[in-house]
Amino acid sequence: MSSIMERFTEKFRKSAELYEQAGDVIPGGGHQSRVVHPFPVFVNEAEGAVKVDADGNELIDYLMGFGALLLGHAHPTVTDAVAQRLRKGTHMGTTSTLEIRWAELVRSLIPSAEKVRFTASGTESTLLALRLARGHTGKKKLVKFREHFHGWHDYVSPQSGINSQVGIPEESMSTVCVLEPDVAEVERFLSEDTDVAAVIVEPTGGHWGQFPVQNPKFLQDLREVTARHGVVMIMDEVICGFRLSRGGAQARYGVTPDLTTMAKIVAGGLPGGAVAGREEIMDQMGTSDPNRRLAHPGTFNANPVSATAAIATLETIADQPINDQADAAAERLKQGLRDALKKMETPGHVHGVASIVHVALGVECDCPGEMCTQPHDRLAQGTAQALSQPLKLAMLNEGVDMMGGIGFMVSAVHSSEDVDRTAEAFERSLAALRGEQVI
């Protein structure tokens, strides 16, 4: 029987050739998060839950635009709206009624959104939120948590699990304090350091919940501590917004931050992001007082094409049981994966909130399977590259594209059949991993 790697190089032969070609013109051969070892799969087309790669292989997709596509690929409502928009012009260089409608929709769904401003990405959203917090408080430092990812700008790069420190000045790094997601530690820190402008948090925990914050009380306590110390609480809902519920993590857990950062679903799966929050903080971008005014330019902020996709997407989420559908598919997937682990007598744990599903091999836990209560280091072992890399390839061999070999972004268009086929693929992948003594 051929190995996982042999099957992979055989099945995705055309992608291997394209990777050679890409390396000639693109450093690293492509976008960092899309390139996997030994080579990435090249895909140009997708519809619903399925994408078709350069070799003609059909893959059930669980990257879903890195979480941007809660409605699935090429959703007809979004696609039709964008197609019409393209014919009417893509950039007027002015504000538009689309921008107002988009902002009103965000405000109607996201509890903390008294005012809304659009950016071109999640990274820009967290950068803007931090600048707003610094402007508002007159303080300098940012507290972030270990392994919480907020994009790639200098201030959120330390210990994010993805970024390196190359090219980041010491001076910028010295304004960032990385803590464990432990409210007692935050309390201690804020009591000693009075120069903290903001605390930023991924509400389900680091890496879309790979390292869960363990319970919603963490967010409630963080809210209380930051409010007491006059520190701006930034909830980074780039992944969770409109996914954990229509109103994101904040509506699901009843915790209202001062500022919320968004991207991905908020822009209907097209490039774009948003910052929303308390009027007195947001109005730094509206005031005519030159001493308070925070400038926020950006060529593609609130551009009509992203705005159109966003409006179509957010209206669909507001009007239809999209979250229920995605959550139900994820629940079925979780059960299918658990059954496969059991059948294969493989230790492993499946957890995740709403339509997010994580797998940690070799980890056992008797938590209900939402925010897993195993310690960070234990979950890190269960999702280490030595496991996740072969799992990712084995699943691709079986026609399923997982997020990094550690989990699944489920959408409203993953059918029961897709999910059941995924669980079967997982079972066969476990057999392949066992055959190579990976597990």
Alpha-carbon distance of 294 to 201, in angstroms, equals 23
Q: What is the 3-state secondary structure (H, E, C) of the chain?
A: CCCHHHHHHHHCHHHHHHHHHHHHHCHHHCCHHHCCCCCCCCEEEEEECEEEECCCCEEEECCHHHHCCCCCECCHHHHHHHHHHHHHCCCCCCCCHHHHHHHHHHHHHCCCCCEEEEECCHHHHHHHHHHHHHHHHCCCEEEEECCCCCCCCHHHCCCCCCCCCCCCCHHHHCCEEEECCCHHHHHHHHHHCCCEEEEEECCCEHHHHCEECCCCHHHHHHHHHHHHCCCEEEEECCCCCCCCCCCHHHHHHCCCCCEEEEEHHHHCCCCCEEEEECHHHHHHHCCCCCCCCCCCCCCCCCCHHHHHHHHHHHHHHHHCCHHHHHHHHHHHHHHHHHHHHHHCCCCEEEECCCCEEEEEECCCCCCCCCCCCCCHHHHHHHCCHHHHHHHHHHHHHCCEECECCCEEECCCCCCHHHHHHHHHHHHHHHHHHHHCCCC
Q: Is 258 in the site for ligand PLP (CB under 6 A)?
A: no
Q: Is 122 in the site for ligand PLP (CB under 6 A)?
A: yes
Nearer to ligand PLP, 239 or 341 (CB): 239
Q: Is 121 in the site for ligand PLP (CB under 6 A)?
A: yes
**Least distance from ligand PLP to the Cβ atom of residue 264, Å:** 7
Nearer to ligand PLP, 291 or 299 (CB): 299
Q: Is 147 in the site for ligand PLP (CB under 6 A)?
A: no
Site string for ligand PLP, 183-202 (x = CB under 6 A): -------------------x
Stretches 89-97, 144-152, 214-222, 391-399: which one binds ligand PLP (CB under 6 A)? Answer: 144-152
Site string for ligand PLP, 4-43 (x = CB under 6 A): ----------------------------------------
Of 404, 403, 406, 366, the closest CA to residue 382 belongs to: 406
Stretches 137-145, 146-154, 170-178, 226-234: which one binds ligand PLP (CB under 6 A)? Answer: 146-154
**Least distance from ligand PLP to the Cβ atom of residue 267, Å:** 9
Nearer to ligand PLP, 19 or 208 (CB): 208
Number of residues that bind ligand PLP (CB under 6 A): 14
Site string for ligand PLP, 228-247 (x = CB under 6 A): --------x-xx--------
Residue with smallest beta-carbon separation from ligand PLP: 122
Positions 299 through 358 that interact with ligand PLP (CB under 6 A)? none
Nearer to ligand PLP, 72 or 273 (CB): 273
Residue type, 168: I
Q: Is 429 in the site for ligand PLP (CB under 6 A)?
A: no
If one counts every other C-beta atom within 10 angstroms of the C-beta of residue 431, the result is 14
Q: Is 209 in the site for ligand PLP (CB under 6 A)?
A: no
**Least distance from ligand PLP to the Cβ atom of residue 269, Å:** 12
Q: Is 123 in the site for ligand PLP (CB under 6 A)?
A: yes
Positions 149 through 178 that interact with ligand PLP (CB under 6 A)? 149-151
**Least distance from ligand PLP to the Cβ atom of residue 42, Å:** 20
**Least distance from ligand PLP to the Cβ atom of residue 81, Å:** 21
Contact with ligand PLP (CB under 6 A) among 35, 66, 294, 404:
66
Task: Give contact residues for ligand PLP (rule: CB under 6 A).
Answer: 66, 121-123, 126, 149-151, 202, 236, 238-239, 263, 273
